[in-house]
Amino acid sequence: MLSDLGGGTIGGVGFCPSGNVGDEHAYFEPIHGSAPDIAEQDKANPISQVLTLGLMLDHIGERGGGDLIRAAVYTALDSGAVQLNQLGQPRGGTRAAAEAIAAAVAVG
């Protein structure tokens, strides 16, 4: 419930990365579920997955890579290359959003 409330403060759980870090091991995943209701429909918002990569890069000491990932997401959103509908789904589909973020990384 707390993750859903936290996600609501920034526009939804589709923007929320997470990491679970222990003394010896860590794993990283977006806080949202697998969304079986939209599986294979090209509707999922990839932003939380991409931001989770940024957290993982930070954790393994690649802070520059994490910063580049976050900057690319912000650039793609700010430029309008990635737009979300009222359900938080990317206009043009998951693949188009991911490609726009990847293009921003390449320029980054």
Condensed to tens digits (0 to 9), the pLDDT of residues 70-79 reads 999 999 999 9
Backbone angles phi, psi at 27, to 5 degrees: -140, 155
State pLDDT tens for residues 7-34. Answer: 555 566 678 899 999 999 999 998 877 7
State pTM to two decimals. 0.87
Determine the longest span between alpha carbons in the chain, in angstroms: 41
Other beta carbons within 10 angstroms of residue 31's beta carbon come to 17
Name the phi and psi angles at 96, rounded to 5.
-65, -40
Question: 3 falls in which pLDDT band (50, 70, 90)?
Answer: low
CA gap 3, 37 in Å, rounded = 20
